[in-house]
Amino acid sequence: MTEEKNMATKYDRNKPSQNGILTGLTMAFLKLLVMVKERESPTRSSSLHRM
């Protein structure tokens, strides 16, 4: 039981960093969505040149 409590406190301490990882993942996901939308749009050559 005490070890579980220690794990819980460690998890609470790590929450800020986990939130940072989460925001980073969402930002990467949004960038990916924008890239896909640009690829689907008629101006495909310009978006490819940007990459």
Burial label for 15, CB within 10 Å (0-12, 13-18, 19+), is exposed
The predicted pLDDT at position 19 comes to 78
Give the global pTM.
Answer: 0.43
CA distance 28 to 18: 15
Query: Counting every residue, how long is the chain?
Result: 51
Q: What is the pLDDT of residues 1-23, one digit of tens each?
A: 566 666 666 666 666 677 788 89
Domain ranges of the chain: 2-50
| Residue 24 CB-half CA count within 13 A | 6
The predicted pLDDT at position 30 comes to 94
The predicted pLDDT at position 42 comes to 67
| 3-state DSSP assignment of residue 17 | helix
